[in-house]
Amino acid sequence: MATRPIVGELSGHIRLAHGIPVRFESAGGVEIARRVREGAEADLLVLADGAMAELEKEGHLLGGTVRPLWVSQVVAAVPEGTPVPALGSESELRAALLSAKRIAYSTGPSGTSLIDLITRLDLADTLGDRLVQSPPGVPAGSLLSSGRADLAFQQHSEMMDLPGVVVIGPLPGDAAISSMFSGGVPAASTQPRRAREVLDLLGSDAASGIARARGMRAPGGR
């Protein structure tokens, strides 16, 4: 879901600038990986790097087609109109976590990394009952505006345009969480040549500009 706003905008760009009709269907990463394993028909796949590596190892992707596309940072956010905690240091992050009554996080790599971070901070037992995982495909930030959480963590691209939400910013120092999203061609693709062409366009400088505007960056900071 983190890449949905980017691939949505890029679909229109590729259609208008290159004459290639492209339609992306977005869903939670776990759900998409399950569909691919069950034989879903698709010509191109964009998922978190770890999931792509597993699918490639299992033979679900054409060898040599997987390439990194965008890097996404996890940000913290609070409901609009509530105090905004400082997050300039790890100690301030700890204080924000401890003061929150309900903490929302997502499925997928960002959620897994957040739980790992909380464990590293030795807060797993303290915060266990306060953690609220959003359902697959549902932005964790939406739990802020609905009153079900007062602090949330998710990919910047998913958080930045949500109504009723104030993005605090990325996590500080060694606590920072980032995810790499990659693209590849499924082994079941019926148009592998055209899929490789679109994959090249997703990795282009024009695509990098769109990614930056949507809260991500290309590998290497382009």
Mean pLDDT score of the chain: 92
Residues 56-85, mean pLDDT to the nearest whole number: 95
From the list 52, 4, 16, 6, the residue with the least C-alpha distance to 208 is 6
Residue 222 has pLDDT above 60, yes or no: no
**pLDDT value, residue 221:** 60
Domains 4-70+182-221 and 72-175 share a fold: yes
Instruction: Convert the pLDDT of each residue in 86-140 to its tens digit.
Output: 999 999 999 999 999 999 998 877 889 999 999 999 999 999 999 999 987 788 9
Residue 163 has pLDDT above 90, yes or no: yes
- The separation between CA 89 and the C-alpha centre of its own chain, rounded to angstroms, equals 23
**pLDDT value, residue 34:** 94
CATH class of the region 4-70+182-221: alpha beta
Number of C-beta neighbours around residue 23 at 10 A: 8
Residues 179-183, mean pLDDT to the nearest whole number: 93
Q: Is 47 helix (H, G, I), strand (E, B) or coil?
A: strand
Domain ranges of the chain: 4-70+182-221, 72-175
- Which amino acid, one-letter code, is at 12? G
- The separation between CA 162 and the C-alpha centre of its own chain, rounded to angstroms, equals 15
**pLDDT value, residue 108:** 76
**pLDDT value, residue 107:** 82
- The separation between CA 64 and the C-alpha centre of its own chain, rounded to angstroms, equals 23
Helix (H) or strand (E) segment spanning residue 54: helix 49-57
Query: What is the CATH T-level fold of the domain 72-175, as seen in this structure?
Result: D-Maltodextrin-Binding Protein; domain 2 (3.40.190)
Question: 47: pLDDT confidence band, cut at 50, 70 and 90?
Answer: very high
